[in-house]
């Protein structure tokens, strides 16, 4: 049996990261998570009919964040946390500067992706979701997830290689 306290509340951090990635606004992301939790709570009578409460919650959160973006007519622009896995002292100052520059370019290129490609890449590469979970959240097939992920990675890679080869 699905319970709100045991199955939904632990998803707060995941929902917040997703909303923050889409909105780039910490305050708005918190509001979106709260609204998501309220909407999921209002569906508590239907928990036994929901196959994956996590997928349902992520879908609600994603849709609310995208609605906010549509209202603000802006795009997501951050991948910061996903790149902060290496200690600063592992590289020389020149290497660190070069690496940070490359990270900035990858983030810019990621943010230029169409929303569908960006969502798939976000859920797979940053949130670590399975193809099946992504398909459920986005309402597409697993094959479409794989194709969209391939296209997103390919577009970022090709555009980065163009920039990197010119030394811009």
Alpha helix (H) residue ranges in the chain = 12-23, 26-42, 53-72, 80-83, 93-111, 115-121, 131-138, 142-166
pLDDT tens, position by position, 64-96: 988 887 776 433 334 444 455 555 556 677 777
Let me know if residue 82 belongs to a domain.
no
The residue that leads in pLDDT, 149 or 166, is 149
Residue 18 belongs to domain spanning: 4-72
Domain count, the chain: 2
Asked if residue 161 and residue 92 are part of one domain, the reply reads yes
Q: How confident is the model at residue 148 (pLDDT cuts 50, 70, 90)?
A: very high
Instruction: Decide which of 46, 72, 98 is a domain's last residue.
Output: 72
Would you state the pLDDT for residue 147? 93
The residue that leads in pLDDT, 80 or 149, is 149
Statement to judge: residues 57 and 104 lie in one domain:
no
Residue 74 in tokens? 């802006």
- Evaluate whether residue 32 is within a structural domain: yes
Mean residue pLDDT across the chain: 81
Question: 78: closest CA among 37, 12, 26?
Answer: 26
């Amino acid at each position: 049996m699905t319970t709100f306290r045991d199955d939904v509340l632990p998803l707060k951090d995941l929902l917040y990261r997703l909303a923050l990635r889409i909105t780039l606004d910490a305050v708005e992301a918190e509001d979106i998570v709260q609204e998501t939790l309220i909407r999921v709570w209002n569906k508590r009578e239907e928990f036994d009919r929901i196959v994956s409460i996590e997928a349902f919650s992520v879908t609600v959160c994603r849709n609310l964040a995208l609605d906010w973006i549509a209202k603000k007519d802006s795009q997501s622009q951050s991948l910061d946390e996903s790149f902060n896995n290496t200690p600063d002292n592992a590289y020389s100052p020149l290497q660190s500067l070069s690496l940070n520059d490359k990270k900035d370019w990858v983030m810019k290129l990621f943010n230029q992706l169409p929303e569908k490609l960006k969502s798939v890449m976000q859920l797979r590469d940053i949130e670590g979701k399975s193809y099946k979970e992504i398909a459920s959240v986005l309402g597409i097939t697993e094959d479409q997830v794989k194709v969209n992920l391939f296209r997103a990675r390919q577009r970022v890679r090709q555009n980065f290689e163009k920039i990197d080869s010119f030394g811009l």
